[in-house]
A and B are shown apart, each in its own frame.
Chain A
Amino acid sequence: MGKERTNLPDDQPFVAIEEESLFARDIDGQLVRIVAATSDDFNEDVPITIDGHAITVKKAVPLKDAQGNIVRDAEGRAIPRATTIYDAANEIFIQRPGDRNPIPTLCHKEHMQPAGVCRVCVVEVFRNDRGQRRPGGKLVPACHHRVEPGMEVQTIESANDPAAGERVRSAVGLLTELLVADHLPTGFAAEELSHTSELAALARRLGIESSRFASHDKGATRDRSSLQIQVDHAACILCDRCVRACNQVKENLVIGRNGKGYSATIAFGLNQPMRDSGCVSCGECAVSCPTDALTFTSEFIERQKEFLHQDLQQEQASAAVKTGRKRKAASADETDEILTAEQLVKLPLFSGIPFKFFQFNGGAVVRRKLKAGDVLCREGEYGKTAFILEQGRFEVFLQASKNHVQSEAAPGILGRLGFLTSRLVSRGDKGETRFRRDGGASAAPDQRVVMTPDDLILGEMTCMNRYPRSATVMAIEDGQVLEIRRNVLYMLQRNPVSREILDRVYRERVLVSQLRNLSILSDLPEEEQNACCEYLKDKLELVRVDPGQTVFRQDELADALYLVRLGFVKVTQRYGLDERVINYLGPGSYFGEIGLLSSIPGLFDEEDFRGRRTASCSALDDVELIRIRGKDFAELIGNFPSLREALLKHAEQLVERDKHIQQKATTESSDFLAQGLFNANSLLVLDLESCTRCDECTRACSDTHDGVTRLIREGLRFDKFLVASSCRSCLDPYCMVGCPVDAIHREGSLEVLIEDHCIGCGLCATNCPYGNINMHGFEESRTDPETKRRHAVIQQKATTCDLCRNVRGKEPSCVYACPHHAAFRMSGEELFQIVGGV
């Protein structure tokens, strides 16, 4: 020590605690109140520069949920969220999968509310106002700081202001060293760890091989109480991602921060062992964790893999028996393989998916090798997978349109409301089942559709919207695809870039295919149909509407016509203080034309509502609509008089009918509606006049399913019928949404299946609005990885009615066992017809 110690920066006085931050005031010196972003902000431009790249972003972006879906309010408007520096950098630097935002993050993920605690995303900001460039002094967290007009940002990779870039780099480097010292093992090999540990990956990116700080043994503990997830507190950097995953993404409300300062940790419930807390083992925390603090236990990973292997083996065996040709025992390079987590993260499309997610799912991706003539999927099947095309050419057939599917008037209320449904007569071994076609891939019978790896993905519609497959796909040369499950698809949607690609593919396909099937055109001669299609080609819009959300309200100005693609829409009208349901519209129907027609002078003289909506329309479930804007519609009917005539005639009928219905709307229909019965494919209905309450049905169910009943003889009554609590095989099952391991799905036919690799998180049980999925503890045997001894554990699993899929005989046991012929299975519509609805 001595006078030569001049490496202390001389001009750096002790900082005083700052009064306020650089962007706390606007350019007039007025303190800015930070208010929740408003929808006006969607349109407000904010010009900023990042590392010298100028960009104009909107002041707000739509708030998205963990799935990347836009969150909307009850009116259907997107909820705005203030645009951050990190968002803006994403816009500049990320164009395709694999692109990297120069700003590193640990505590931030696009689908979470920013916490701003790890500070590795810091950037230097300058403020340009009135020609002056003012430095900020402190570095600001890009994940949290809003963009402001005139902001100049320098990141860790800044080339246009190297000095600023160096200041940021030195700060981020030091922060990383601090984290590395305490939270990575000494002598860590960044390469090995960087799969699971984003911290190791960051250290590797910054070239940090070891920390200059000594590590400190906090005596931190491990929590191995849970069967699925283990906690290593020493690796935890307290980024808060698991806390937000548990409380905001999954709303399980279990994980929080515990203690204070250097000894702070994450904790479950009241700082209990994980297993004794309210944890449901959904896995979201481990998937979100950027370090090895929360990992899946090796025995759990093995168990998940085993399930998948068994599935594959069974499938191969049965396929060999069935087709005799498809997938016979083949040489090694021809067999399908399950990709490992390590292989998967290297594929660009999957680069945004956490490594641990693949571990969690036992590598839920299978590489299928196909020979020319192999069938990838069949029309009408309830698929649970989508296919990413890697090699080869594939032809899409609308087999059904040639043989099994007949269009006919839909039965029941739907039929009376005048739309068609497609019916597929499947020749499977379970008798006749009615499917509603998705209509995703459709083409004129003589049109050939061939798909190649450029088309990227196939079959994603079934995966996303839970309707049966709309086409059969066959390999027309040897090829290779990746078969992915729904949960992988969901995960892909979380990543903004792959999300955009998937959305674009989906929209294009839906819109192109939908053109051919537009019901408004069905009465026109083919020549005119083609002309109309040509006109509408680029004018259709796909709109998604959440359950309960309003599409438009009565008396609003009419600005568009809607066609229902998926789901059900409720049409209501006000009568005095009452809001009466006058109609339900399902796939294939259209609405909104009356308001539009009446807006054209001289066309449709209804002085009562000229140009305004005559009713309110809202979504009953997840609905997809095709929108044709008002001015395009006006031009269309101007060009095609016969279309105009047909629509006018229909509209007049509707107006007449509405007047008629006014007197008839019943309360029973609202019960029917509230209970979602319109959505039911297979209700267990008990005729209470014959039923003696002997409970044979419950007993039979319990006997069939290892002593656990899957039905409860209670529920809503309609007339003399009781709708018992038992899975209804909904048309659009809510239960399947979000299963983290994709254990619940349909396979080939109607019934909802829960597979053995269920982890018991209970999400499906929570999702089922009718209480038809229950959680039960099952005894399982596990091997302790340390002692290698087997021991019994209780594994929670979800159970639901599977229509006795694995039992011989035509009927489910409950129906078969009833000694009084009082139990029936029927669809919602059938029941409605029997009890006499509207």
Chain B
Amino acid sequence: MIVQELQRMQHDRGYLSQNDLKLLSERLEVPLYRVNEVVSFYPHFRRQPPPQVRVQVCRDMSCHMAGACELRAALGKIADRFGEQQVHVESVSCLGRCDRAPAVMINERPYMARTARQLEDVVERCVDGHVPEPDFDIDHLAGQSQEWAIDVYRGDARYDAVREFVKSPEPRRVIEALEQAGLLGMGGAGGRAYKKWTDVWQAGGAQKYVVCNADESEPGTFKDRELLLRAPHLVLEGMILGGLVVGASKGYVYVRHEYPEQIAAVDQAIRAAERIGACGRSIFGSGHSFELETFTSPGGYICGEQTALIEAMEDKRAEPRNRPPELQTNGLWDCPTLLNNVETFAWVPSIVLKDQGRWFAEQGRESCRGMRFFSVSGDVRRPGVYEVPNGITFATLLHEYCGGMRDGVALKAAALSGPSGGFVPARIPTRYLGRRFVSQLPPGTEFVELNDLVLDIATFRNIGLMLGGGIVVYGEQRDLVDEALACLKFFRNESCGKCVPCRIGSQKIVQIATDLHERRYDEASFESQTALVNELTQTMQTTSICGLGMVAANPFYGLLRFFPDEVKRYVP
């Protein structure tokens, strides 16, 4: 209850005073240090009275490219004019609106893709007590034209898959459909969904939970934002089916607090589902029950790490757990927990309803199975969320869906898994790629084109690169040392600080990259730093507790490997 109580208190008063915390500690009978541990961990909680106008400028990837640094500096000048009490400007981690960069929140309302001049105007009007019309996600949605195959009901929340299940409950049939479909976890790791469902289904224990990870915080990734807004009923149906299959009676949708419209949409969809009997007590008149509820994240990228997310739900600091055990057996409150990403749950209804998963499997191109969503941003003409068949090439995504490069610039690189996988160059030297992949190329092939890469998780495992849901495209004009430094800072800022390799390693790598950026190395000293970065990358990969620490050095490591000429420009 600590997290929710703090959110409520902050909502009522605008901030949390020392006295508030003492009273809370007494009321909940938890020691002060526990309250402090939680309050100080989450950036969402404020210990000081808020300024009249609070401006948050996103600083990551697409926004960084769109001039977030300059924007922050420009807005900082207004703040100086009014004083900290009235206007406070700060940089924040990815707000999940990379398609309309630069993203800015003013008093927790979104203002997207506006110029410094326009934003100054907004701030001034806010100081005068007005609320200028924000750029809501829902309005942006209205401009979308792609029809989604995922929505079998074309907008109606019919819950047919749930209806069918409660008529003849056969968990094995649902799991077989998932297996047939070849659905993978869409949160990043890409594990086989049917396996996870089977694990939780077979885990012992009377109490089980279903949790939907809607804490989409990876820079460059915003597909869940649209899915939650456009088709929340699919996510809920996937969760309800999950609950019925594994034997859980309670489900939570864990949403980042920067998605207020999505939280409202999900809440509304839950109430609608309850009204027609699709969830809650006695689903469609059967003996089955499954309650759903949203859980607003107190903030931070690390909460997207599945065990950290569970810790946050248990009122603790979102610090990832040492594994094993896995959540499938020891999840929320130590009960077996089915935790999937928004998109993973959202695919379940169409998979179950359409030919036992065969329809889904057949959607893939080449030898790939199924479909998926990509969020694409950066130097492309039409950034946005696209539902695509698995197995299309990068070129297809870039040209057919996103309208090609913006302003006709040439493709330099792409980040294919937000900042986690580093930048992949337009021409990739094969000597750095996985042997299994290279052995299938004609002998003597020195380079493969990024454009020709097949966007498929299994293929990428063989290549030795990471493929996530967020793709950021970099044109020829971009300075990748500068961009990589921004990515490294993101990981440093978002590290929870629990384990040493990530807490200190992520800072040291920022320090080295900063020194490079400021041209402090000569050739000899940079040589030794390169060796050190390689060692550090490896140690962070092998000894960090969670995925964040494992990938935190990748942007720099990739830069040294794939862009030696870019780096060279900074070494006098």
Residues of A within 8 A of B (CB): 1-2, 5, 7-21, 23-24, 30-34, 116-120, 122, 137-139, 141, 144-145, 167, 170-171, 174-175, 178-179, 181-182, 212-214, 216, 237-238, 247, 253-264, 267-271, 277-278
In angstroms, Cα B498 to Cα A237, docked, is: 10
Residues facing A in B301-326 (CB within 8 A) are: 317, 322-326
List A contacts of B493 (CB < 8 A). 261
Given contacts A14-B466, A212-B532, contact A264 B503 (CB under 8 A): yes
List A contacts of B539 (CB < 8 A). 170-171, 174-175
Q: Is the CB of A270 within 8 A of B564?
A: no
Q: Is the CB of B545 within 8 A of A116?
A: yes
Which residue of B36, B435, B500, B535 has the most chain A CB atoms within 10 A of its CB atom? B500
Query: Which of B31, B300, B535 has a CB less than 8 Å from the CB of A253?
Result: B31
In angstroms, Cα B202 to Cα A355, docked, is: 51
Find the A residue at minimum CB distance from B22: A270
Q: Is the CB of A23 within 8 A of B324?
A: yes
Q: Is the CB of A34 within 8 A of B330?
A: yes
Given contacts A174-B539, A256-B34, A267-B40, contact A181 B508 (CB under 8 A): yes
List A contacts of B324 (CB < 8 A). 20-21, 23-24, 32, 34
Q: Is the CB of B543 within 8 A of A171?
A: yes
Q: How far is the CB of B9 from chain A (nearest CB, A)?
A: 14
Q: Is the CB of B560 within 8 A of A34?
A: no
List A contacts of B547 (CB < 8 A). 17-18
In angstroms, Cα B463 to Cα A659, docked, is: 85
In angstroms, Cα B324 to Cα A578, docked, is: 48
Some 26 contacts from A to B, beta carbons below 8 A apart, are: A1-B526, A1-B564, A1-B571, A5-B530, A7-B531, A9-B538, A10-B431, A11-B435, A15-B551, A20-B323, A31-B199, A34-B324, A118-B500, A119-B545, A171-B539, A238-B503, A247-B33, A253-B34, A256-B36, A257-B37, A258-B36, A260-B495, A261-B492, A261-B493, A270-B33, A270-B35
Which residue of A23, A174, A253 has the most chain B CB atoms within 10 A of its CB atom? A174
Find the B residue at minimum CB distance from A167: B542
List A contacts of B530 (CB < 8 A). 5, 7
Q: Is the CB of B36 within 8 A of A267?
A: yes
Query: Which of B496, B511, B541 has a CB less than 8 Å from the CB of A15?
Result: B541
Q: Is the CB of B36 within 8 A of A117?
A: no
List B contacts of A255 (CB < 8 A). 33
Any A CB within 8 A of the CB of B506: yes
Q: Is the CB of A14 within 8 A of B465?
A: yes
Q: Is the CB of A144 within 8 A of B508?
A: no
Map CB proximity to A onto B497-536 as digits: 1 under 8 Å, 0 otherwise. 1111101111110010000000000000010101110111
Any A CB within 8 A of the CB of B18: yes
Does more than half of chain A's interface fall in helix, strand or loop, or is it mixed? loop
Q: Is the CB of A31 within 8 A of B33?
A: no
Q: Is the CB of B33 within 8 A of A253?
A: yes
Q: Is the CB of A19 within 8 A of B191?
A: yes
Which residue of B35, B204, B541 has the most chain A CB atoms within 10 A of its CB atom? B541
In angstroms, Cα B568 to Cα A260, docked, is: 34
In angstroms, Cα B543 to Cα A21, docked, is: 13
Q: Is the CB of A117 within 8 A of B564?
A: no
Given contacts A13-B465, A141-B322, contact A33 B203 (CB under 8 A): yes
User: What is the size category of the interface that chain B forms with chain A?
Assistant: 35 or more
Query: Which of B326, B496, B542, B564 has a CB less than 8 Å from the CB of A2?
Result: B564
Q: Is the CB of B534 within 8 A of A7?
A: yes
In angstroms, Cα B496 to Cα A263, docked, is: 10
Any A CB within 8 A of the CB of B550: yes
Q: How far is the CB of A127 from chain B (nearest CB, A)?
A: 13
Find the B residue at minimum CB distance from A212: B532
List B contacts of A257 (CB < 8 A). 37, 41, 317, 497
In angstroms, Cα B565 to Cα A255, docked, is: 50
Find the A residue at minimum CB distance from B503: A262
Given contacts A33-B204, A119-B499, contact A16 B461 (CB under 8 A): yes
Q: How far is the CB of B472 from chain A (nearest CB, A)?
A: 16
Q: Is the CB of A171 within 8 A of B542?
A: yes
Q: How far is the CB of B147 from chain A (nearest CB, A)?
A: 32
Query: Which of B492, B500, B560 has a CB less than 8 Å from the CB of A175?
Result: B500
Q: Is the CB of B565 within 8 A of A1?
A: yes
In angstroms, Cα B43 to Cα A16, docked, is: 28
Q: How far is the CB of A67 from chain B (nearest CB, A)?
A: 23
Given contacts A1-B568, A1-B571, A171-B542, contact A261 B33 (CB under 8 A): no
List A contacts of B565 (CB < 8 A). 1
Find the A residue at minimum CB distance from B542: A139
List B contacts of A139 (CB < 8 A). 542-543
Q: Is the CB of B466 within 8 A of A170?
A: no
Any A CB within 8 A of the CB of B32: yes
Q: How far is the CB of A153 from chain B (nearest CB, A)?
A: 15
Any A CB within 8 A of the CB of B357: no
List A contacts of B541 (CB < 8 A). 15, 138
Smallest CB-CB A-B distances: 7 pairs = A13-B464, A256-B33, A33-B329, A34-B325, A17-B547, A264-B497, A253-B31
In angstroms, Cα B504 to Cα A260, docked, is: 12
List A contacts of B528 (CB < 8 A). 212
List B contacts of A237 (CB < 8 A). 500
List A contacts of B277 (CB < 8 A). none
Q: Is the CB of A1 within 8 A of B325?
A: no
Q: Apart from A7-B534, A16-B189, A117-B499, what are 12 other A-B pairs with CB-CB below 8 Å? A: A16-B190, A17-B420, A17-B551, A20-B326, A31-B328, A31-B329, A119-B501, A120-B500, A175-B501, A256-B34, A260-B496, A269-B32
Residues facing A in B414-428 (CB within 8 A) are: 420-422
Any A CB within 8 A of the CB of B432: yes
Which residue of A17, A171, A257, A262 has the most chain B CB atoms within 10 A of its CB atom? A17
Q: Is the CB of A178 within 8 A of B508?
A: yes
Q: How far is the CB of B538 from chain A (nearest CB, A)?
A: 7
Residues facing A in B84-104 (CB within 8 A) are: none
In angstroms, Cα B549 to Cα A117, docked, is: 12
Map CB proximity to A onto B160-177 as digits: 1 under 8 Å, 0 otherwise. 000000000000000000
Given contacts A5-B530, A33-B329, contact A178 B501 (CB under 8 A): yes
Q: Is the CB of B36 within 8 A of A31?
A: no
List A contacts of B433 (CB < 8 A). 13
Q: How far is the CB of A69 from chain B (nearest CB, A)?
A: 25
In angstroms, Cα B72 to Cα A224, docked, is: 38
List A contacts of B503 (CB < 8 A). 238, 261-262, 264
Residues facing A in B534-572 (CB within 8 A) are: 534-536, 538-539, 541-545, 547, 550-551, 554, 557-558, 560-561, 564-565, 567-568, 571
List B contacts of A213 (CB < 8 A). 508, 511, 532
Q: How far is the CB of A244 from chain B (nearest CB, A)?
A: 12
In angstroms, Cα B434 to Cα A11, docked, is: 7
Q: Is the CB of A21 within 8 A of B323?
A: yes
Q: Is the CB of A32 within 8 A of B322?
A: no
Given contacts A13-B464, A261-B493, contact A270 B511 (CB under 8 A): no
List A contacts of B50 (CB < 8 A). none
Any A CB within 8 A of the CB of B14: no
Find the B residue at minimum CB distance from A218: B507
Q: How far is the CB of B430 from chain A (nearest CB, A)?
A: 11
List A contacts of B507 (CB < 8 A). 216, 262
In angstroms, Cα B205 to Cα A776, docked, is: 51
Any A CB within 8 A of the CB of B188: yes
Any A CB within 8 A of the CB of B336: yes
Any A CB within 8 A of the CB of B135: no
Find the A residue at minimum CB distance from B37: A256
In angstroms, Cα B190 to Cα A107, docked, is: 33
Find the B residue at minimum CB distance from A17: B547
List B contacts of A258 (CB < 8 A). 36-37, 40
Given contacts A214-B511, A262-B506, contact A18 B189 (CB under 8 A): yes
Find the B residue at minimum CB distance from A12: B538
In angstroms, Cα B503 to Cα A260, docked, is: 9
Q: Is the CB of B534 within 8 A of A260?
A: no
List A contacts of B387 (CB < 8 A). none
In angstroms, Cα B534 to Cα A122, docked, is: 19
In angstroms, Cα B499 to Cα A33, docked, is: 24
